[in-house]
Amino acid sequence: MEQFTKVTGIIAPMDRPNVDTDAIIPKQYLKSIKRSGFGPNAFDDWRYLDPGAPDIDNSTRRINPDFILNKSPYNKARILIARENFGCGSSREHAVWALEDFGFRAVIAPSFADIFFNNSFKNGLLPIVLDAELVDGIFTRVENQPGYELTVDLQKQKIITEEGEEYPFAVDAFRKHCLLNGLDDISLTLQHTEEIKAYEEKTKQSAPWLF
Protein backbone atom coordinates (compact mmCIF):
# COMPACT_ATOMS: atom_id res chain seq x y z
CA MET A 1 0.00 0.00 0.00
CA GLU A 2 1.06 3.62 -0.45
CA GLN A 3 3.18 5.14 2.30
CA PHE A 4 1.73 7.92 4.40
CA THR A 5 4.17 10.48 5.79
CA LYS A 6 2.83 14.01 5.33
CA VAL A 7 -0.11 15.26 3.28
CA THR A 8 -1.08 18.85 2.53
CA GLY A 9 -4.30 19.44 0.69
CA ILE A 10 -7.77 20.90 0.40
CA ILE A 11 -10.17 19.75 3.06
CA ALA A 12 -13.71 18.76 2.09
CA PRO A 13 -16.50 19.10 4.67
CA MET A 14 -19.12 16.36 5.09
CA ASP A 15 -21.33 18.01 7.67
CA ARG A 16 -23.49 15.09 8.76
CA PRO A 17 -23.14 12.42 11.47
CA ASN A 18 -23.40 8.65 11.05
CA VAL A 19 -22.22 8.47 7.44
CA ASP A 20 -22.44 4.73 6.81
CA THR A 21 -20.46 2.50 4.49
CA ASP A 22 -23.45 1.93 2.19
CA ALA A 23 -23.50 5.68 1.58
CA ILE A 24 -19.75 5.70 0.96
CA ILE A 25 -19.97 2.85 -1.58
CA PRO A 26 -23.38 1.24 -2.28
CA LYS A 27 -23.76 -2.53 -2.19
CA GLN A 28 -24.04 -3.03 -5.96
CA TYR A 29 -20.36 -2.12 -6.36
CA LEU A 30 -19.04 -4.77 -3.96
CA LYS A 31 -18.57 -7.51 -6.57
CA SER A 32 -15.04 -6.41 -7.45
CA ILE A 33 -12.08 -7.01 -5.10
CA LYS A 34 -9.49 -5.16 -7.21
CA ARG A 35 -9.15 -2.31 -4.65
CA SER A 36 -9.15 0.23 -7.48
CA GLY A 37 -11.69 1.94 -9.70
CA PHE A 38 -14.20 2.73 -6.95
CA GLY A 39 -13.54 6.48 -6.84
CA PRO A 40 -16.17 7.47 -9.44
CA ASN A 41 -18.80 5.69 -7.31
CA ALA A 42 -17.80 7.05 -3.91
CA PHE A 43 -20.97 8.47 -2.30
CA ASP A 44 -22.78 7.31 -5.42
CA ASP A 45 -26.37 7.90 -4.29
CA TRP A 46 -25.57 11.46 -3.15
CA ARG A 47 -23.29 12.24 -6.05
CA TYR A 48 -25.55 11.39 -8.99
CA LEU A 49 -29.20 12.02 -9.82
CA ASP A 50 -29.50 8.78 -11.80
CA PRO A 51 -29.31 5.25 -10.34
CA GLY A 52 -25.93 3.60 -10.70
CA ALA A 53 -24.68 0.11 -11.50
CA PRO A 54 -21.22 -1.42 -12.10
CA ASP A 55 -21.70 -1.58 -15.88
CA ILE A 56 -22.91 2.02 -16.29
CA ASP A 57 -20.66 4.71 -17.77
CA ASN A 58 -20.64 7.35 -15.03
CA SER A 59 -19.89 10.10 -17.55
CA THR A 60 -23.42 9.65 -18.90
CA ARG A 61 -25.07 10.17 -15.50
CA ARG A 62 -26.48 13.45 -14.24
CA ILE A 63 -24.37 15.03 -11.50
CA ASN A 64 -26.06 16.30 -8.33
CA PRO A 65 -24.96 19.97 -8.29
CA ASP A 66 -25.76 20.31 -4.58
CA PHE A 67 -23.45 17.53 -3.36
CA ILE A 68 -20.31 18.96 -1.77
CA LEU A 69 -17.79 16.70 -3.55
CA ASN A 70 -19.18 17.71 -6.94
CA LYS A 71 -18.27 21.32 -6.28
CA SER A 72 -14.91 22.96 -6.95
CA PRO A 73 -12.49 22.96 -5.17
CA TYR A 74 -13.75 20.06 -3.04
CA ASN A 75 -13.65 17.66 -5.99
CA LYS A 76 -9.86 17.80 -5.62
CA ALA A 77 -9.76 17.43 -1.83
CA ARG A 78 -7.16 15.22 -0.14
CA ILE A 79 -8.61 15.37 3.39
CA LEU A 80 -12.20 14.77 4.46
CA ILE A 81 -13.70 16.17 7.66
CA ALA A 82 -16.88 14.66 9.04
CA ARG A 83 -19.03 14.37 12.12
CA GLU A 84 -19.29 11.59 14.71
CA ASN A 85 -19.55 7.87 13.98
CA PHE A 86 -18.15 8.11 10.46
CA GLY A 87 -18.03 4.78 8.61
CA CYS A 88 -20.77 3.02 10.55
CA GLY A 89 -22.77 0.17 9.00
CA SER A 90 -21.46 -2.95 7.32
CA SER A 91 -17.81 -3.97 7.39
CA ARG A 92 -16.90 -3.44 3.74
CA GLU A 93 -13.28 -2.58 2.93
CA HIS A 94 -14.63 -1.18 -0.34
CA ALA A 95 -15.62 1.97 1.58
CA VAL A 96 -11.96 2.71 2.30
CA TRP A 97 -10.96 1.79 -1.26
CA ALA A 98 -13.57 4.22 -2.65
CA LEU A 99 -12.36 7.11 -0.48
CA GLU A 100 -8.75 6.49 -1.44
CA ASP A 101 -9.56 6.14 -5.12
CA PHE A 102 -11.41 9.46 -4.96
CA GLY A 103 -8.17 11.01 -3.69
CA PHE A 104 -8.54 11.16 0.09
CA ARG A 105 -5.55 10.25 2.26
CA ALA A 106 -7.00 11.18 5.65
CA VAL A 107 -10.39 11.51 7.34
CA ILE A 108 -10.88 13.69 10.43
CA ALA A 109 -13.89 13.15 12.72
CA PRO A 110 -14.81 13.16 16.43
CA SER A 111 -15.36 9.38 16.26
CA PHE A 112 -15.37 6.46 13.83
CA ALA A 113 -17.09 3.10 13.64
CA ASP A 114 -14.61 0.49 14.86
CA ILE A 115 -14.48 -1.73 11.77
CA PHE A 116 -14.08 1.19 9.37
CA PHE A 117 -11.38 2.63 11.64
CA ASN A 118 -9.41 -0.63 11.54
CA ASN A 119 -9.93 -1.14 7.79
CA SER A 120 -8.58 2.35 7.11
CA PHE A 121 -5.19 1.63 8.67
CA LYS A 122 -4.92 -1.68 6.82
CA ASN A 123 -5.43 0.08 3.47
CA GLY A 124 -3.34 3.24 3.85
CA LEU A 125 -6.06 5.73 4.84
CA LEU A 126 -5.39 7.67 8.05
CA PRO A 127 -8.44 8.15 10.32
CA ILE A 128 -7.85 10.94 12.84
CA VAL A 129 -9.97 11.32 15.95
CA LEU A 130 -10.13 14.99 16.92
CA ASP A 131 -12.05 16.74 19.67
CA ALA A 132 -15.54 17.82 18.53
CA GLU A 133 -14.83 21.49 19.28
CA LEU A 134 -11.73 21.44 17.08
CA VAL A 135 -13.72 19.73 14.34
CA ASP A 136 -16.34 22.49 14.63
CA GLY A 137 -13.61 25.08 14.23
CA ILE A 138 -12.29 23.46 11.07
CA PHE A 139 -15.80 23.28 9.61
CA THR A 140 -16.17 27.01 10.25
CA ARG A 141 -12.88 27.81 8.53
CA VAL A 142 -13.78 25.71 5.51
CA GLU A 143 -17.19 27.39 5.29
CA ASN A 144 -15.61 30.84 5.40
CA GLN A 145 -12.75 29.96 3.07
CA PRO A 146 -13.49 27.33 0.38
CA GLY A 147 -10.25 25.67 -0.61
CA TYR A 148 -8.89 25.84 2.93
CA GLU A 149 -5.93 23.50 3.35
CA LEU A 150 -4.51 21.47 6.21
CA THR A 151 -1.29 19.55 6.61
CA VAL A 152 -1.38 16.14 8.26
CA ASP A 153 2.06 15.11 9.53
CA LEU A 154 1.97 11.50 10.66
CA GLN A 155 5.57 11.42 11.86
CA LYS A 156 4.93 14.31 14.25
CA GLN A 157 1.30 13.25 14.82
CA LYS A 158 0.05 16.78 14.19
CA ILE A 159 -2.51 18.57 12.08
CA ILE A 160 -1.17 21.97 11.00
CA THR A 161 -3.51 24.74 9.89
CA GLU A 162 -2.80 27.45 7.33
CA GLU A 163 -2.42 29.85 10.27
CA GLY A 164 0.28 27.67 11.80
CA GLU A 165 -1.79 26.22 14.61
CA GLU A 166 -0.99 22.62 15.52
CA TYR A 167 -3.44 19.99 16.73
CA PRO A 168 -1.83 16.79 18.04
CA PHE A 169 -3.57 13.48 17.47
CA ALA A 170 -3.08 10.00 18.85
CA VAL A 171 -2.19 6.95 16.76
CA ASP A 172 -1.15 3.44 17.73
CA ALA A 173 2.62 2.99 17.37
CA PHE A 174 2.40 -0.19 15.29
CA ARG A 175 -0.21 1.27 12.95
CA LYS A 176 1.90 4.39 12.58
CA HIS A 177 4.91 2.26 11.66
CA CYS A 178 2.89 0.40 9.03
CA LEU A 179 1.54 3.58 7.44
CA LEU A 180 4.92 5.32 7.39
CA ASN A 181 6.45 2.30 5.64
CA GLY A 182 3.53 1.33 3.41
CA LEU A 183 3.11 -2.08 5.05
CA ASP A 184 -0.23 -3.87 4.78
CA ASP A 185 -0.89 -7.35 6.20
CA ILE A 186 0.58 -9.07 3.14
CA SER A 187 3.72 -6.93 3.19
CA LEU A 188 4.19 -7.68 6.88
CA THR A 189 3.94 -11.40 6.18
CA LEU A 190 6.40 -11.20 3.28
CA GLN A 191 9.00 -9.75 5.64
CA HIS A 192 9.23 -13.28 7.06
CA THR A 193 9.62 -15.08 3.74
CA GLU A 194 12.84 -16.85 4.68
CA GLU A 195 11.45 -18.06 8.01
CA ILE A 196 8.34 -19.34 6.24
CA LYS A 197 10.43 -21.21 3.69
CA ALA A 198 12.58 -22.74 6.42
CA TYR A 199 9.51 -23.89 8.32
CA GLU A 200 8.06 -25.49 5.18
CA GLU A 201 11.28 -27.36 4.47
CA LYS A 202 11.46 -28.59 8.06
CA THR A 203 7.83 -29.71 7.94
CA LYS A 204 8.42 -31.59 4.69
CA GLN A 205 10.98 -33.71 6.53
CA SER A 206 8.94 -34.27 9.70
CA ALA A 207 5.49 -34.64 8.10
CA PRO A 208 5.93 -35.41 4.38
CA TRP A 209 2.35 -36.69 4.09
CA LEU A 210 1.10 -33.10 4.39
CA PHE A 211 2.70 -32.33 1.04
Q: What is the pLDDT along the chain (211 residues), one digit of tens a residue?
A: 889 999 999 999 999 999 999 999 999 999 887 888 999 999 999 999 999 999 899 999 999 999 999 999 999 999 999 999 999 998 889 999 999 999 999 999 999 999 999 999 999 999 999 999 999 999 999 999 999 999 999 999 999 999 999 999 999 999 999 999 998 777 766 666 777 677 777 777 887 887 7
**Reported pTM:** 0.89
Strands across the sheet containing 126-129: 126-129, 106-109, 79-82, 6-14, 149-153, 158-161, 166-168
Annotate 20-56 with b (16+ C-beta within 10 A) or e (fewer): ebbbbbbeebbeeeeeeebbbbbbbebbbeeebeeee
Amino acid at 116: F
76 CB-near residues (< 8 Å, 6+ apart): 10, 103
Q: What pLDDT, on a 0 to 100 scale, did the predictor assign at position 191?
A: 67
Q: What pLDDT, on a 0 to 100 scale, did the predictor assign at position 205?
A: 80
Question: Which domains are seen in the chain, by residue range?
Answer: 6-183 (3.20.19.10)
- Cβ–Cβ contacts within 10 Å for residue 124, how many? 19
Q: What pLDDT, on a 0 to 100 scale, did the predictor assign at position 211?
A: 75
| Contact assessment for residue 169 and residue 158, using Cβ atoms and an 8 Å cutoff | yes
Q: What single-letter DSSP state applies at residue 112?
A: B
